[in-house]
Chains A and B, each alone.
Chain A
Amino acid sequence: DAGITQSPRHKVTETGTPVTLRCHQTENHRYMYWYRQDPGHGLRLIHYSYGVKDTDKGEVSDGYSVSRSKTEDFLLTLESATSSQTSVYFCAIRSSGTDTQYFGPGTRLTVL
């Protein structure tokens, strides 16, 4: 599992509330990613990071922001959650040695 944890694992929230999801890794990988997975759309990249304070947008970044103040943590924030952001969110790292991507266990988010 490449030492990746996500918190919380499940969350139910209401429309308009802010939500922050956390991804934590223990192996000092430089690259970290946030994806969402929805039926009919597969896995889509939201944001990614290539170092502390270095982030960039993916294909579905609208409504999301990220921060990476230290190597081990990559935070995904929904400033004002909407029902369309109900999804399963996966964090991933890119292994420095092999360039292989590994995924965390996922967070199931429901926005009512």
Chain B
Amino acid sequence: GIQVEQSPPDLILQEGANSTLRCNFSDSVNNLQWFHQNPWGQLINLFYIPSGTKQNGRLSATTVATERYSLLYISSSQTTDSGVYFCAVWVGETSGSRLTFGEGTQLTVNP
């Protein structure tokens, strides 16, 4: 099956710093999502991004499908950004389509 690799596995920042998280995938995908799991365990959809760039406030994401990677940028990080960031790719056709997740990047933002 498809492999999804995220880097770095862990990241510690001071509040106000910028960061880039990377997601590589081993095969062509239909689509890609980024999620944030907060310290309380809630999984929050950040971006649905098959290609190109999207921005939402301090967060932005870029997917280059032809080169099989996606990047998540966090600018001016805040303590509330802490948690685990997951990349997940959609594979399969129609009713069989499903998400395959990477192992995540654990982000800690210190005040």
Spell out A's residues near B (CB within 8 Å): 31, 33, 42-45, 48, 50-51, 54, 56, 58-59, 88, 90, 98-103, 105-106
A51-B95, A105-B41 given; 11 more Cβ-contact pairs under 8 Å: A31-B95, A42-B86, A43-B88, A50-B95, A59-B1, A88-B41, A99-B48, A100-B45, A101-B45, A101-B88, A103-B45
What does DSSP make chain A's interface, helix, strand, loop or mixed? strand
Nearest-Cβ distance from residue B13 to partner chain A, whole angstroms: 22
Distance A79 CA – B102 CA, assembled complex (angstroms): 29
A42 touching B43 in the complex, CB below 8 Å, given contacts A98-B48, A100-B48, A101-B33: no
> A54, A59, A102: which contacts B95 (Cβ < 8 A)?
A54
Bound form: Cα–Cα A100–B47 in Å: 9
A54 surroundings in chain B (CB, below 8 A): 95
A49 to B81, CA, bound (A): 32
Q: Which residues of A contact B41 (CB under 8 A)?
A: 88, 105-106
The distance in angstroms between the C-alpha atoms of A104 and B41, with both chains bound, is 10
Complex CA–CA separation, A56 to B41 (angstroms): 26
Give CA–CA (A49, B22) in the complex, Å.
30
8 A Cβ contacts from B86-111 to A: 86, 88, 90, 95-96, 98-99, 101-104
Contacts of B44 in A (CB 8 A): 103
